[in-house]
C-alpha cells in the first residue's frame, strides 16, 4: 500500500517541480536585459517613458502603432533605437515594422521590416560577439507570411544613428503565437529566444521553442514537455548568439 501511495505521489511531485522551474524561468524574463538597456520604453501613439533617472518620466517617440514595439538603450541608459509594427508610413504594406533611431526618425534602411501588427512580436538582442551590432527578431502571426525572421542593426553607421545592414532573414516558416521573449543565458553572455508555434484554433500544441545562435549556425536540439494542455511531447532548443 505504501509503495502505491509513493508511486501515486511521484508524478505529482514531478509536476510540481516542473511548474516551479517554469515560475523561476518567468521571473528570469525580467532580467533579460541589464545595465539600463531597458530604461526607455517607446510605445503607442508617440508615447514613451524614460526610467534612466530612477523616476518614470514621460517623453515622446516617433512611432504611431497599435501592435508590437521594442526599445533598447545603451549601458548608460541613453536611447539607441526602437522598433514598432505600424501602418502610418505605408499604405501598400499594410502593417509592417519600422525601426527608429535615437532622433525618432526612421533608421537608414529601417523600413519594411517583418512584423504583422500583433503583440509581443518584436525582440531586440545585443550581439555578445560585437557590441556595435544588434539583432531584431520578428514573428508573423497573421497573413500568409508566417514565421520567425531577424534583421541586423549596426550602430557604427550613419554617424552613430545606426543602419539596418541585414533585413528579414528567415529562421522559421510556421505560424507563431504572439508571445516571443528573450532571456539571457546563465553564462552571462549568450541569449535564449523563446517562442511558440501556433495551432489555432485548438491551442493544444506543445511546440515551444528555445533558440540560441552561434555564428549563424544551429547546434543542439532536444525534445521535452512543459505545457499543461500539451498533446505532444515536443520541445526544441537551439543556441542563439554564442560569442566567440
196-214 pLDDT per residue, tens: 777 665 555 556 666 665 5
For residue 237, pLDDT beyond 50: no
Domain boundary assignment for the chain: 1-30, 80-237
pLDDT at 33: 46
pLDDT at 128: 80
Give the residue ranges of DSSP H helices in 159-232. Answer: none
For residue 34, pLDDT beyond 60: no
For residue 35, pLDDT beyond 90: no
Structure confidence at residue 142 as a pLDDT band (50, 70, 90)? low
Higher local confidence (pLDDT), 233 or 203: 203
Higher local confidence (pLDDT), 137 or 228: 137
Contact 241, 213 (CB under 8 A): yes
Give me the chain's average pLDDT, please. Answer: 73
% of the chain beyond a pLDDT of 70: 62
For residue 50, pLDDT beyond 70: yes
- The residue among 195, 190, 194 whose CA lies nearest residue 241 is 190
Question: What cell numbers appear for 210 in the block?
Answer: 528555445
pLDDT at 209: 60
- The residue among 75, 87, 2 whose CA lies nearest residue 45 is 87
pLDDT at 25: 46
pLDDT at 54: 87
75-131: pLDDT as tens digits: 889 999 999 987 645 444 567 889 999 999 999 999 989 887 677 889 999 888 888
Higher local confidence (pLDDT), 153 or 76: 153
CA dist., res. 28 & res. 10, Å (int): 27
Mean pLDDT, residues 223-229 taken together? 46
DSSP element (H, E) containing 17: helix 2-29
pLDDT at 234: 41
Structure confidence at residue 43 as a pLDDT band (50, 70, 90)? confident
Structure confidence at residue 244 as a pLDDT band (50, 70, 90)? very low
CA dist., res. 161 & res. 102, Å (int): 7
Question: What cell numbers appear for 238 in the block?
Answer: 537551439
pTM of the model: 0.73
Amino acid at each position: 500500500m505504501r509503495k502505491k501511495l509513493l508511486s501515486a505521489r511521484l508524478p505529482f511531485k514531478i509536476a510540481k517541480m516542473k511548474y516551479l522551474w517554469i515560475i523561476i524561468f518567468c521571473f528570469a524574463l525580467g532580467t533579460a536585459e541589464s545595465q539600463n538597456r531597458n530604461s526607455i520604453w517607446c510605445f503607442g501613439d508617440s508615447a514613451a517613458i524614460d526610467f534612466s533617472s530612477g523616476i518614470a518620466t514621460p517623453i515622446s517617440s516617433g512611432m504611431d502603432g497599435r501592435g508590437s514595439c521594442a526599445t533598447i538603450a545603451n549601458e548608460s541608459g541613453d536611447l539607441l533605437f526602437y522598433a514598432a509594427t505600424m501602418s502610418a508610413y505605408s499604405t501598400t504594406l499594410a502593417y509592417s515594422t519600422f525601426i527608429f533611431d535615437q532622433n525618432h526618425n526612421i533608421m537608414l534602411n529601417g523600413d519594411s521590416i517583418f512584423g504583422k501588427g500583433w503583440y509581443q512580436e518584436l525582440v531586440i538582442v545585443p550581439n555578445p560577439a560585437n557590441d556595435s551590432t544588434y539583432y531584431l527578431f520578428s514573428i508573423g502571426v497573421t497573413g500568409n507570411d508566417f514565421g520567425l525572421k531577424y534583421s541586423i542593426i549596426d550602430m557604427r553607421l550613419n554617424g552613430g544613428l545606426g543602419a539596418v545592414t541585414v533585413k528579414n532573414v528567415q529562421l522559421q516558416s510556421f505560424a507563431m503565437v504572439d508571445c516571443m521573449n528573450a532571456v539571457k543565458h546563465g553564462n552571462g553572455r549568450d541569449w535564449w529566444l523563446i517562442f511558440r508555434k501556433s495551432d489555432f484554433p485548438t491551442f493544444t500544441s506543445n511546440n515551444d521553442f528555445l533558440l540560441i545562435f552561434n555564428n549563424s549556425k544551429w547546434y543542439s536540439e532536444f525534445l521535452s514537455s512543459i505545457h499543461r494542455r500539451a498533446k505532444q511531447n515536443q520541445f526544441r532548443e537551439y543556441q542563439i548568439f554564442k560569442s566567440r
